[in-house]
Amino acid sequence: MTETPSASAQQRTYPPGVPCWVETPQPDPGAAAGFYGELFGWAITNVGGDDVPYLIASLDGRDVAAISRAPDGAAGGPAWETYIAVRDADAAAAAVTAAGGRVTGGPFDAGETGRSVSCADPAGAAFLLWEAGSYPGAQLVNLPGSWNFSHLHAADQDQARQFYTAVFGWQFTEPPFGGWTWIQVPGYGDHLAATVDPGIRERQANAPAGFADVVGGLMPAAEGQAYWQVTFSVADRDAAVATAGKLGATVLGESENRFTKLADLRDPQGAQFTVSQFLGVRS
């Protein structure tokens, strides 16, 4: 997700293999909505019901994420989950199994909006598949308060590359500035240029080759760990950290690189996420 959203009202769509949506199942969705609404300025709409709430978060009328109710006794505690677009959920689920992963739930029909499958890769990192019907996914990304990136943290990098390449056709590239490995979907930049971001090539004229195709990152993890980490953009990392702390979040760590100021946080119910302030390209 490397574009700046266009002022156009055109709906964002996601080619197969591109992360398209993020959601956090929480024991108390209402409390989570209060926390993230205050932190990111989200407006919240319940499109489910009182018994099975499904809370859509939006900024400026465009959907950015969701909060749902965690099933009773759910293992592992609350987390932020990443959905990856697929053309056919059943075929993609079969590909997950064939490549050594697991289908942990579904496929599930979500009415006319689409079809989902819960999965885990061979190391146990959880993710979801999304076959879009009327609902392709997030309609605003990369601006403050919205989803920026999802990064896979994996101890066995070779295993991760082999699995996700087999399932989604991803390419993995080492960027010139190091620090993390790019996950790319070939042709994604062309898709953006033809749809919601016609100026992407000009704006990224000085970016490394292939940057427009980047859809996520591969990061190292401690032995035995594997998980997807969701990052949200913020205008001011320090202000976001202060607000999160006042709202009951825990600060797990802060860092800074050539491009961003980052903070890893845990929300009051236990879901971990990252906030990122873009600093521009610095030498």
pLDDT in tens, 117-149: 999 999 999 999 999 999 999 999 999 999 999
- Residue located via tokens 């689920």: 93
The answer to the question of residue 93 being in a domain is yes
Pairing outcome for strands 19-26 and 81-85: antiparallel
The answer to the question of residue 217 being in a domain is yes
CB 209 within 8 A of CB 2: no
Q: What is the CATH number of the domain that holds 133?
A: 3.10.180.10
The answer to the question of residue 92 being in a domain is yes
pLDDT in tens, 10-51: 799 999 999 999 999 999 999 999 999 999 999 999 998 888
The answer to the question of residue 64 being in a domain is yes
Tokens matching residue 280: 């521009």
Query: How many domains does one find in the chain?
Result: 1
Taking 80 as the threshold, does the pLDDT of residue 220 lie above it? yes
Taking 50 as the threshold, does the pLDDT of residue 8 lie above it? no
Q: Could you tell me what percent of the chain has a pLDDT over 90?
A: 80
Secondary structure letter of residue 258 according to DSSP = S
Q: How many C-beta neighbours within 10 Å does residue 245 have?
A: 12
Taking alpha carbons only, the member of 116, 136, 151 closest to residue 14 is 136
DSSP-assigned states of every residue in 71-119: PTT-TT----EEEEE-S-HHHHHHHHHHTT-EEEEEEEE-TTSEEEEEE
The answer to the question of residue 134 being in a domain is yes
Domain that holds residue 98: 19-278
Q: How confident is the model at residue 7 (pLDDT cuts 50, 70, 90)?
A: very low
The answer to the question of residue 6 being in a domain is no
Pairing outcome for strands 19-26 and 62-69: parallel
The answer to the question of residue 52 being in a domain is yes
What residues have CB less than 8 Å from 148, skipping those under 6 apart?
A: 1, 141, 142, 231, 232, 233, 276
Identity at 246, one-letter amino acid code:
K
Q: Mean pLDDT across the chain, nearest whole number? A: 92
The answer to the question of residue 13 being in a domain is no
Q: How many C-beta neighbours within 10 Å does residue 132 have?
A: 20
